[in-house]
Amino acid sequence: MKTIEFDICGQICPSALLTALKEINRHKGQLKQGECELVILTDARDATRTIPSAVENMGYQVDISKKSGCYLIRIFTR
């Protein structure tokens, strides 16, 4: 499975959420087929609540971890 990473560190909500949603829509074909997963790197604490909430409502799986003071939000389809 291909991993597509994008870094939105420095951005705050709602821009962080809207940027993430834009990327998800751009790759939704591959995401739905399970051909890729998206990894969003963010330092916006608010985004660790808003992005998973929005993404789960769209039917994707979400996994969050912390690395070097930033949060990695992994979005994928099982």
Contacts to another protein by CB under 8 A: 9-15, 18-19, 22, 43, 45-46, 48-50, 52-54, 64, 66, 69-71
**DSSP conformation class of 35:** S
Q: Say how far apart CA 48 and CA 56 lie, in whole Å.
A: 12
Contacts of 43 (CB under 8 A, 6+ apart): 9, 10, 69, 70, 71
